[in-house]
Amino acid sequence: MNKRTKIALLSLPALLCFALIGLSACSHTHSYEVSATKAATCTEEGMTAYTCTGCGESYSETLPALGHDYVGGACARCGLAEIPEGYSVGLDYELLSNGSYALVGIGNFAGEALVLSPSYRGAAVTEIGEGALSGSAIVSAVLPDSVRTIGKNAFSGCASLSSVTLPQSLASLGESAFANCSALEEIALPDTLTSLGEGSFRFAALRELSLPHGVQEIPAELVAWSRIERLFLPASVEKVGADAFQGCGGTLQNVYFAGTEAMWKDIEGLYMSGLFSSVTVHFEADALP
């Protein structure tokens, strides 16, 4: 049988239909029944397929993913935890407009050693919000590299806080972020940090501090009334805010500056910074000795 004959034969019923009862009666009202289902899960779409019992034609509908249903720290449906294993739980978070999360409060976390999760409900934790942990009783804090911003007063008045590990991605430290942290004697600032807020370490117990390479402006009251003894300043510093070193006359003895003496003399605001003339400035220093 050649191809043309085959087509003619196949279309014969249709032709008969036209001839005998007209077009409208040939297309029947489909009678659909569910032929297959796949339930939606928290993260995956589901599907329902329908097939006509008369002609076998079928179609399918997509069921949207359900999303997690968090109750008491885990999804009631699939069991996924809000916080990955090994990180502190009970803290308060807030969803930001960019889809990431900010830590905004101590919540019911009662531990001494805070280890912040890099993610919450599957999204990155990118901020420590304004005043988030202010006045809390934490002794140590380890912050993940997902965090880029630490807000104003985030840790201020944490009187027991003696150890802080800052994110290696930190770009901005807010005003008074560690002010009045009276047990905080040391902190390492990452090189990504170029923006420091006023009084970030005011009344903290810091004994030494190295400002990251790239910092151009030392904010007002940066280490005012701290116990700072030794300070490293990068060659990028061009300006010092008022009272940056106010109240440090009794302890501050040595400043290690990466630039030359001429560059030092060009720094704007140096004489309003509270730096005593008894302080020894070491020029072209690489780091704190």
Instruction: Based on the shown chain and the rule CB under 5 A, indicate whether residue 54 belongs to the binding site for Zn ion.
Output: yes
Instruction: Based on the shown chain and the rule CB under 5 A, indicate whether residue 121 belongs to the binding site for Zn ion.
Output: no
State the residue for tokens 């290690």: 256
Q: Which is nearer to Zn ion, 54 or 135 (CB)?
A: 54
Q: Which is nearer to Zn ion, 68 or 230 (CB)?
A: 68
Q: Can you tell me which of 12, 55, 65, 183 binds Zn ion, judged by CB under 5 A?
A: 55
Beta bridge partners of 163: 140
Instruction: Based on the shown chain and the rule CB under 5 A, indicate whether residue 38 belongs to the binding site for Zn ion.
Output: no
Smallest gap, in angstroms, from Cβ of residue 20 to Zn ion?
20
Instruction: Based on the shown chain and the rule CB under 5 A, indicate whether residue 282 belongs to the binding site for Zn ion.
Output: no
Q: Which is nearer to Zn ion, 54 or 90 (CB)?
A: 54
Helix (H, G, I), strand (E, B) or coil at 35: strand
Smallest gap, in angstroms, from Cβ of residue 116 to Zn ion?
23
Instruction: Based on the shown chain and the rule CB under 5 A, indicate whether residue 75 belongs to the binding site for Zn ion.
Output: yes
Q: Which residues contact 270 (CB under 8 A, 6 or more apart)?
A: 240, 264
Per-position DSSP letters for 54-104, written without gaps between them? TT--EEEEEE------EETTEETTT--BSS-TTS--S-EEEE-TTS-EEEE
Per-position DSSP letters for 118-168, written without gaps between them? SEETTEEEEEE-TTTTTT---SEEE--TT--EE-TTTTTT-TT--EEE--T
Instruction: Based on the shown chain and the rule CB under 5 A, indicate whether residue 74 belongs to the binding site for Zn ion.
Output: no
Instruction: Based on the shown chain and the rule CB under 5 A, indicate whether residue 39 belongs to the binding site for Zn ion.
Output: no
Q: Can you tell me which of 17, 40, 42, 235 binds Zn ion, judged by CB under 5 A?
A: 42
**What backbone torsions phi and psi does residue 32 show, to the nearest 5 degrees?**
-85, 140
* DSSP assigned state of 279: S
Stretch that binds Zn ion, among 12-20, 71-79, 113-121, 281-289 (CB under 5 A): 71-79
Q: Which is nearer to Zn ion, 3 or 28 (CB)?
A: 28
Stretch that binds Zn ion, among 7-15, 54-62, 112-120, 240-248 (CB under 5 A): 54-62
Q: Can you tell me which of 52, 115, 189, 205 binds Zn ion, judged by CB under 5 A?
A: 52
Query: Which CB contacts under 8 angstroms, 24+ apart, belong to 248-254?
Result: 248/223, 248/224, 248/274, 249/274, 249/276, 249/278, 251/207, 251/226, 251/227, 252/228, 252/276, 252/279, 253/229, 253/278, 253/279, 253/280, 254/229, 254/230, 254/279, 254/280, 254/282
Using CB under 5 A, count the residues that bind Zn ion.
Answer: 10
Stretch that binds Zn ion, among 40-48, 111-119, 225-233, 278-286 (CB under 5 A): 40-48
Stretch that binds Zn ion, among 11-19, 36-44, 181-189, 273-281 (CB under 5 A): 36-44
Binding site for Zn ion (CB under 5 A): 30, 42, 52, 54-55, 68, 75, 77-78, 80
